[in-house]
Structure 1
């Protein structure tokens, strides 16, 4: 009887943990854009709700559009420093908050595929070729969206991107607590596999990478505390030879690569060369 009670308790606890990891506390940041012509908009989301969106046109003629997607627990404001770099190059920048983040509509069970749905909603709203930039969970969503919108996403930038979803989730759970990762992590992954089926593996960034046609810039912090640098090397190898470039933010962690030496030059040089080639291809 004791063991039956213990097993029932463990199963119930793991189910509760599965729910809680989807509802991790949101930690929005606040940083308003300070350039160009700012439109603060709301657009329809796939579930009948809405997404908050900034569309910022440059002071002069626009060279094209960059869509920027934030990571887990954050909001559109997180992408302002990154957008500022691209705005200086004459691009229109579009930033949205994913559902259940910022002031966008609530949504249960958020995960990379739902981040991708929101990115695709924004892409459909824009309706023209774009550069797509995703950070962390937003990078996971961005690579799914880039796969689904291969004709529209001409250039892809992935910052702090994980390689394989199961491994990434286990590392995240272990970062909360080693005991949580060891005792509950495998069972949480089991429940998530039942919920999402083969999607959890098929939509792993490393499994989608070989199927993408566009040039890719990988950006990763040297001391990323969530997803180790080895994941960036794995991702680079999964793309076709010569398709992906890797910029390592010296001294940077998971979210502060824009402060690393050489970040701005790396992004500008990559975008300027690849976007021009994309335009020449039509």
Structure 2
């Protein structure tokens, strides 16, 4: 009996350590903004946006005089609005209002217990509701853009709504389970431990991976979708983007692959900003002539 109790205590301790390591390892790093759009010569407003649990989101609104269309841009894991600012430039220059958003636990937004793809999507949906409520004249047409986890959140949010006119996904993984398995393989964990971790994460976030996976959510989106992916992405291989396209042939999907672009190559994606703008123009977004 003493031996059995010792084994049980040891297993409990090991499990506690494993769960603590999981929470620590998957905690999003917080990087606060240091520059503002004014450093690039852009007029902007810092706006607070309410989200769930009484939390507040930090965002920058980059208005364009007379523009009736907008795009909301959401960063990836550990990112912030400043890191996505280069991608806002081609849209703003083309005459589209831009809202750059910090998810909870990121940038200057409020803290919460944990971050996840569904929580990113919750924050995006509250930003959509805020922009439509506070600036109805600027949301005659509305697009969403997200990077990495933010891209998955954009697709999840768009799959729940019928008021989105276009979605742009940058470097999205096809399935959260695939992404986590790629990450966990480096630790050479036994199969049962790997399965335990995957099930535990699904329990914590309150969603099955299969329900929130981009390879699934794109099939529930009515608006056109542009997938953008770097061929040199070693974090989320370009094969994930191709799998999303092949997994739902009936969706309105366009894939743009960028040579030499890695997972966080926002600067190289910016060089293709004219293609992103042209995608929105094809969806009826009115843009201004180049200034």
TM-score of the aligned structures, taking structure 2 as reference length: 0.85
**1:97-176 matches, cutoff 5 A:** 97-127=102-132, 128=139, 129-149=141-161, 151-174=162-185
From 259, 267, 283, the equivalent of 1:274 is: 283
1:124: how far off?
A: 0.3
Match of 2:30 in 1: 26
Are 1:220 and 1:257, in contact at CA under 8 Å, matched by a contact in 2? no
CA distance in 2, matches of 1:260, 1:99: 25
1:42: how far off?
A: 1.2
Query: What SS does the corresponding residue of 1:43 show, helix, strand or coil?
Result: strand
CA distance in 2, matches of 1:198, 1:47: 18
Are 2:86 and 2:270, in contact at CA under 8 Å, matched by a contact in 1? no
Gaps of 5+ in 2: 133-138, 287-291
In structure 2, relative to structure 1, the CA distance for the partners of 1:261 and 1:47 (3 Å cut) is: closer
CA distance in 1, matches of 2:26, 2:72: 25
1:98: how far off?
A: 0.5
Is 1:43–2:52 an aligned residue pair?
no
Q: Deviations over 1:56-85 (max 9, x none)?
A: 112x43141000000111111121011111
Match of 1:280 in 2: none
Are 1:249 and 1:261, in contact at CA under 8 Å, matched by a contact in 2? no
1:271: how far off?
A: 1.5
1:14: how far off?
A: 2.1
From 201, 215, 218, the equivalent of 1:206 is: 215
Query: What SS does the corresponding residue of 2:254 show, helix, strand or coil?
Result: strand
Q: How many residues align?
A: 272
CA distance in 2, matches of 1:114, 1:235: 22
CA distance in 1, matches of 2:173, 2:103: 19
Query: What SS does the corresponding residue of 1:153 show, helix, strand or coil?
Result: coil
Query: What SS does the corresponding residue of 2:60 show, helix, strand or coil?
Result: strand
CA distance in 2, matches of 1:101, 1:197: 21
Is 1:64–2:64 an aligned residue pair?
no
CA distance in 1, matches of 2:116, 2:165: 24
Match of 1:179 in 2: 187
From 50, 60, 63, the equivalent of 1:54 is: 60
Are 1:170 and 1:181, in contact at CA under 8 Å, matched by a contact in 2? no
Is 1:249–2:258 an aligned residue pair?
yes
Gaps of 5+ in 1: 278-282
Match of 2:245 in 1: 236
Are 2:221 and 2:251, in contact at CA under 8 Å, matched by a contact in 1? no
Q: Which structure has the larger Rg? A: 2
Are 2:103 and 2:120, in contact at CA under 8 Å, matched by a contact in 1? yes
Q: Which deviates more from structure 2 when the two are superposed, residues 238-247 or residues 103-112? A: 238-247
Match of 1:224 in 2: 233
1:28: how far off?
A: 4.5
